[in-house]
């Protein structure tokens, strides 16, 4: 046995991860169901480091130093179970199976429990950054036991992206499925970020009347400020791109139907179960869904909207500055919601996740990497029990300063008939949190009226019911 680590599943992610390990001086055993991919990898990239190609599962396992560290990078779902079933019987107590695929965290909980009973560490690991990240440094979110991290952490940290201060973008997130859970929320936040950026673009295009090239310039300007991030940077690239075949802006020749692979949907489904409002992520998932409903959109195309001219050149400049404020404030809200969701799951499952550490490891490698995440890290460093990012002094001040512009942008969007579900939902959440009284009191009254669901009072302890169909006198029920 000569390999410190093994990778099975050599499609794009697995191959790149294996190469990343090899480039960092680790000997990597490589295996794939179809052996031709294994030999192709070694033929093409064998010079980058030490690879041990294995044709059979037995050879693969035999190539690994003990305790064995075996990374699975296959299609999430049934294929992952098939591969676990193939390898688990060949492993010894204390060995580690690391699932780097995009598994649903509930599957990871199930697998971890089953393998723990056999003495095998199952390390559900979120890996973000796509194929480029896998090769050059992803953000890595391993769950599983503390013990497994001791043996595995240094290897993962060696291949992870490094933040600006040099810290590796990899940390032991927490037990069992904590790693896959935070990866899911990361993707949900990514959906929300992308939706907010899309809305900003739509407003600059259809209210301010800017061309895609001009909007690319605007985004480049924003990228030099507090919105500095990978997503803003690539947005400018996409908007500046011209379609070679037609000479038109690339964004105008792409079908406007957004697809999704499902992690955004999982985030929202899970948030509903946990009872954590993640309206920013939900609106982003729904916005993609609406865009894909070609029939609905065709049926509604003739519905009337407001007739509005583009803003004048002077107004447009000022409007663009307000859009930046609205985008920033909405982004703070969606991150606040995402972090609340992580905190809720951490409490629910006993994961004890370090909320600041999540911001720290997302500063590099992953899709939502941004200067902004360092601010979130500092916010949790100042107060580890921060109930919401909106309560952090710095964020509260910024969002407070942005609110007039934010309201004005949403109002303008409504007046011009440009849909901004992300901006609007974020603002509604902000206003709901800061409201002294919410109409939820009325909701409670209605629930008590039709279903005797009871309510609590502001002035006395206990639960109460009003006999609505009788004398309307009140009884204390608990
Ligand atoms: P795919 O998801 O396309 O998976 C292909 C790999 O799975 C091949 O190696 C294939 O083997 C193997 N496989 C499929 N079914 C089985 C099976 N029943 N038994 C054994 N092996 C099987 O590859 P990707 O590289 O795109 O992704 C790998 C994992 O990483 C996925 O879970 C994905 O969600 C996750 N991921 C992907 C990212 C990305 O940007 N693509 C980013 C982060 C995570 P064979 O060659 O024999 O067909």
To which residue do tokens 């794009």 refer?
12
At 232 the pLDDT is: 98
Q: Is the CB of 11 under 6 A from ligand 1?
A: yes
4 contact partners, CB below 8 Å, separation of at least 6: 21, 26, 27, 28, 65, 69, 155
User: pLDDT exceeding 70 applies to what percent of the chain?
Assistant: 100
63: tokens are 């190539």
Among candidate residues 243, 260, 244, 263, the one with its CA nearest the CA of residue 252: 243
Predicted-assembly ipTM surpassing the 0.95 threshold: yes
At 151 the pLDDT is: 96
On whether the CB atoms of residues 225 and 371 are closer than 8 A, the answer is no
What rounded mean pLDDT belongs to the chain? 97
50 is in an annotated binding site: no
pLDDT at 202 over 90: yes
- For residue 110, the CA-to-ligand 1 centroid distance in Å is 20
Q: What is the pLDDT of residues 425-471, one digit of tens each?
A: 999 999 999 999 999 999 999 999 999 999 999 999 999 999 999 99
Q: What is the pLDDT of residues 307-334, one digit of tens each?
A: 899 999 999 999 999 999 999 999 999 9
Q: What is the pLDDT of residues 335-377, one digit of tens each?
A: 999 999 999 999 999 999 999 999 999 999 999 999 899 999 9
**Pseudo-torsion of CA 45, 51, 57, 58, nearest 10°?**
150
Please give the number of the atom of ligand 1 that sits closest to the Cα of 103. 32
On whether the CB atoms of residues 6 and 70 are closer than 8 A, the answer is yes
At 408 the pLDDT is: 98
On whether the CB atoms of residues 8 and 74 are closer than 8 A, the answer is yes
Q: Is the CB of 197 under 6 A from ligand 1?
A: no
Q: Is the CB of 131 under 6 A from ligand 1?
A: yes
Task: Give the residue, by CA position, lying nearest to ligand 1 atom 11.
Answer: 33
Task: Give the residue, by CA position, lying nearest to ligand 1 atom 9.
Answer: 9
pTM here is 0.97
At 163 the pLDDT is: 95
At 207 the pLDDT is: 98
Q: What is the pLDDT of residues 377-393, one digit of tens each?
A: 999 999 999 999 999 99
Task: State the average pLDDT over residues 54-61.
Answer: 98
pLDDT at 58 over 90: yes
At 1 the pLDDT is: 80
Among candidate residues 316, 341, 79, 361, the one with its CA nearest the CA of residue 218: 316
pLDDT at 45 over 90: yes
Backbone angles phi, psi at 28, to 5 degrees: -120, 120
At 466 the pLDDT is: 98
Q: What is the pLDDT of residues 257-293, one digit of tens each?
A: 999 998 999 999 999 999 999 999 999 999 999 999 9
């Amino acid at each position: 046995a000569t390999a410190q680590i093994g990778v099975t599943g050599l499609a794009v992610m697995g191959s790149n991860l294996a190469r990343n390990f090899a480039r960092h001086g680790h000997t990597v055993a490589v295996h794939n169901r179809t052996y031709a991919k294994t030999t192709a990898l070694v033929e093409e990239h064998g010079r980058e480091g030490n690879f041990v190609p294995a044709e059979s599962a037995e050879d693969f396992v035999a190539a690994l130093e003990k305790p064995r560290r075996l990374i699975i990078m296959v299609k999430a779902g049934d294929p992952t179970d098939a591969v676990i079933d193939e390898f688990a019987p060949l492993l010894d107590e204390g060995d580690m199976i690391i699932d780097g695929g995009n598994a649903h965290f509930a599957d990871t909980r199930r697998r971890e429990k089953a393998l723990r009973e056999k003495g095998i560490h199952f390390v559900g690991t979120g890996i973000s950054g796509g194929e480029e990240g896998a090769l050059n440094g992803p953000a890595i979110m391993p769950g599983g036991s503390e013990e497994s991290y001791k043996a595995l952490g240094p290897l993962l940290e060696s291949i992870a992206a490094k933040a600006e201060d040099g810290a590796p973008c990899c940390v032991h997130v927490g037990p069992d499925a904590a790693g896959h859970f935070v990866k899911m929320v990361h993707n949900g936040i990514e959906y929300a970020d992308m939706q907010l950026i899309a809305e900003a673009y739509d407003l600059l295009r259809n209210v301010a009347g800017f061309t895609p090239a001009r909007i690319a310039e605007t985004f480049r300007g924003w990228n030099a400020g507090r919105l500095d991030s990978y997503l803003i940077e690539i947005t400018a690239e996409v908007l500046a791109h011209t379609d070679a075949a037609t000479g038109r802006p690339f964004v105008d020749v792409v079908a406007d139907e957004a697809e999704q692979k499902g992690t955004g949907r999982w985030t929202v489904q899970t948030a509903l179960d946990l009872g954590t409002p993640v309206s920013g992520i939900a609106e982003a998932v729904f916005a993609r869904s609406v865009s894909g409903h070609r029939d609905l959109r065709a049926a509604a195309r003739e519905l009337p909207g407001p007739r509005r001219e583009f803003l004048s050149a002077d107004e447009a400049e000022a409007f663009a500055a307000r859009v930046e404020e609205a985008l920033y404030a909405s982004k703070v809200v969606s991150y606040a919601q995402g972090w609340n969701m992580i905190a809720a799951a951490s409490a629910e499952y006993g994961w004890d996740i370090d909320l600041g550490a999540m911001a720290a490891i997302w500063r590099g490698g992953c899709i939502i990497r941004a200067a902004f995440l360092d601010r979130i890290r500092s916010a949790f460093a100042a107060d580890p029990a921060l109930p919401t990012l909106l309560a952090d002094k710095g964020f509260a001040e910024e969002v407070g300063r942005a609110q007039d512009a934010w309201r004005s942008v949403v109002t303008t969007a409504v007046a011009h008939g440009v849909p901004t579900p992300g901006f609007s939902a974020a603002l509604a959440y902000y206003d709901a949190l800061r409201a002294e009284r919410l109409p939820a009191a009325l909701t409670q009254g209605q629930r008590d009226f039709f279903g005797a669901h009871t309510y609590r009072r502001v002035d006395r302890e206990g639960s109460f019911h009003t006999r609505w169909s009788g004398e309307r006198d009140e009884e204390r029920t608990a």
